[in-house]
Amino acid sequence: MSHIRGRFEKDADKRAESYTASIRYDWCLYPHDIAGSIAHARMLARQGIISKQDADTIIGGLNSIKEEIEQGDFDFKPELEDIHMNIEARLIEKVGEVGGKLHTARSRNDQVALDMRLFAREAISQTVSALHTLQQALVTLAESNVEVVIPGYTHLQRAQPVLLAHHLLAYFEMLERDIERFKCCRQRTDVLPLGSGALAGVAHNIDREFLAKELGFDQVSRNSIDAVSDRDFLIEYQSAASICIMHLSRLAEEIVLWSSAEFDFIEVDDAYATGSSIMPQKKNPDVAELARGKTGRIYGNLMSLLTMMKGIPLAYVRDMQEDKEAFFDTVDTLLATLEVFAGMISTLRVKPENTGRAVQHGYLLATDLADYLVKKGEPFRSAHDIVARLVSYAARQEKALNELKLSEYREFSPRFDEDVLAITVESSLAARDNFGGTAPKRVEQALTEARKTLRGGP
């Protein structure tokens, strides 16, 4: 029987006990729970609320419990509900009655809020550094294929030639914004809730500034009711995670497409692909597919937290225990996806012969032809029309644009001159010489900038 059932006459129903217990998944909060308790015990002693000797005994006990857990020697008990009660009960078992002093001036409500903030803060740092590693892999892939040209697509139809590096740097930018979102979320997570008690504050002379310093918090929460009832820092993480996995899912989709025989632009390394159990010729991009698939569960976790929080009154209510599985799952899923992606991207093989061939077909230089006519004085709309007819003529002849003769060009507009034959993939790329464009020298600058950003660290 749990030692907080003092006022009850009956033991808990077994099903009710297992229904309410969270130890199966919240045990992973233990390092944070113990760090929070050690800081709390130190503060209690400094303030003369418990003796220095009692604090030392408590801290010694907590440290040895940590070791037990790390060694796998700790017996987690569902009848003790959660990680907080499991650790406290074990403490009392180990050090005796004095262990019961640890919970002075504290409630499980501010304790669990603290643990979740510490956990989230660590998760954010890991996420940001995993994003940084993936960005590095993207930049390295871009740098080692800096001359590779691919068709850029709109509507998944070949549109204009772009550098592969430019395309990859688009993902670098998305991930950069993801990093910013997580860092923003860290600022709001970095607030100490301990000292809020059950909801109203505590009736002891505690020192919250000291606690904040001990636990490395930037700020101290300003309202005790808010501090124990709010979980928006978790929702913010989940929402940043949802946007981030959406980006990864788009990248995944391109990896799936590009490694198909239809595109054949890239080959996923054997280490990141799987075979088929029936078709021996197959090499499947399962890592990318699973990342795309796992997007659903990360969105789902966001929805479950938003929904769980939307109708609950202030302050703490037990519904909020449901924040954990969803949050832990999102962190695990996102970190695993980021890590495996970094490996998959850094071992990806690009097939420049195939991307080069794809650029030659599909009339990707049509816009350049229209721009050419515009520079010769033709209004853009009619230039567009002329080139559209020219392209359909070439298609009927089964010819590429560079296979047409000047006389053929001239049938569509007298503005075409010899220099039209100088329009090539290279000239098309070089012409997009605006900040943010795909001209090789712009992309080179962008790569230099990206490297600079990366040197700044995660």
How is residue 101 written in tokens? Answer: 């002093």
**CA-to-CA distance for 218 and 212, rounded, in angstroms?**
7
166 assigned to active site: no
- State the nearest-atom distance from the C-beta of 116 to ligand ARG, in Å: 8
Write down the catalytic residue from 276, 382, 392, 427: 276
Q: How many residues does the chain have?
A: 458
Q: How far is CA 98 from CA 52, 57, 59, 80, in A?
A: 12, 8, 11, 19
Kindly tell me which of 4 and 184 has the beta carbon lying closer to ligand ARG: 4
Q: Residue 43, SS3? A: helix
Cβ 83 to ligand ARG, closest distance in Å? 8
Residue type, 246: M
Choice from 320, 350, 359, 443 touching ligand ARG (CB under 6 A): 320
* Helix, strand, coil percent content, the chain, rounded in steps of 5: 65, 5, 30
Give least dist CB 115 to ligand ARG, A: 8
Cα separation, 250 vs 289, in Å, equals 10
Number of amino acids touching ligand ARG (CB under 6 A): 9
Measured from the CB atom, the residue of 162 and 308 that comes closer to ligand ARG is: 308
How is residue 106 written in tokens? 């504290």
Does residue 231 interact with ligand ARG by CB under 6 A?
no
- Does residue 155 have an active-site annotation? yes
Nearest approach, Cβ of 218 to ligand ARG (angstroms)? 24
The tokens for 314 are: 């202030």
Nearest approach in angstroms of CB 87 to ligand ARG is: 12
- Using the minimum distance from each CB to ligand ARG, give the nearer residue, 172 or 316: 316
Distance in angstroms (rounded) separating the CA atoms of residues 37 and 31: 10
Interface region with ligand ARG, contact rule CB under 6 A, candidates 185-193, 227-235, 316-324, 425-433: 316-324
**Minimum CB–partner distance for residue 110 and ligand ARG (Å):** 9
Binding window for ligand ARG (CB under 6 A); candidates: 241-249, 294-302, 314-322, 333-341: 314-322
Strand partners, 150: 162
Q: How far is CA 413 from the centre of its chain?
A: 52
Q: Which helix (H) or strand (E) holds 163?
A: strand 157-163
For 357, phi then psi, to 5°, come to: -65, -40
Binding mask 352-391 for ligand ARG (x = CB under 6 A): ----------------------------------------
Q: Please report, for residues 138, 148, 153, the alpha-carbon distance to residue 329 in angstroms, rounded to integers and kept in the order given.
A: 26, 38, 35
Helix 108-143 vs helix 164-189: crossing angle, to nearest 10? 160
Residue whose CB is less far from ligand ARG, 23 or 257: 23
Smallest separation (angstroms) from ligand ARG to the CB of 208: 20
Find the binder of ligand ARG among 238, 321, 333, 438 (CB under 6 A).
321
- The mark string for 50-89 relative to ligand ARG (x by CB under 6 A, - otherwise) is --------------------------------x-------
| Residues within window 105-164 making contact with ligand ARG, judged by CB under 6 A | 108-109, 112
Closest contact distance (angstroms) between CB of 108 and ligand ARG is: 4
* Residue with Cβ nearer ligand ARG (222 or 318): 318
Task: Kindly state whether residue 22 participates in binding ligand ARG, applying the rule CB under 6 A.
Answer: yes
User: Distance between CA atoms of 96 and 54, rounded to whole angstroms?
Assistant: 11
Q: What are phi and psi of 100, to 5 degrees?
A: -70, -10
DSSP state of 267: E
Report the residue number, 82 or 230, with the smaller CB distance to ligand ARG: 82
Paired with 274 in beta bridges are: 284
Give the separation between CA 373 and CA 379, rounded to whole angstroms.
8
Token pair 């924040």 in the structure block, residue: 323
Q: Which residues contact 303 (CB under 8 A, 6 or more apart)?
A: none
Choices 32-40, 172-180, 313-321, 405-413; region in contact with ligand ARG by CB under 6 A: 313-321
Nearest residue (CB) to ligand ARG, 108 versus 432:
108
Which of 322, 444 has the CB closer to ligand ARG?
A: 322
Catalytic (active-site) positions: 155, 276
Residues that bind ligand ARG (CB under 6 A): 22, 82, 108-109, 112, 316, 318, 320-321
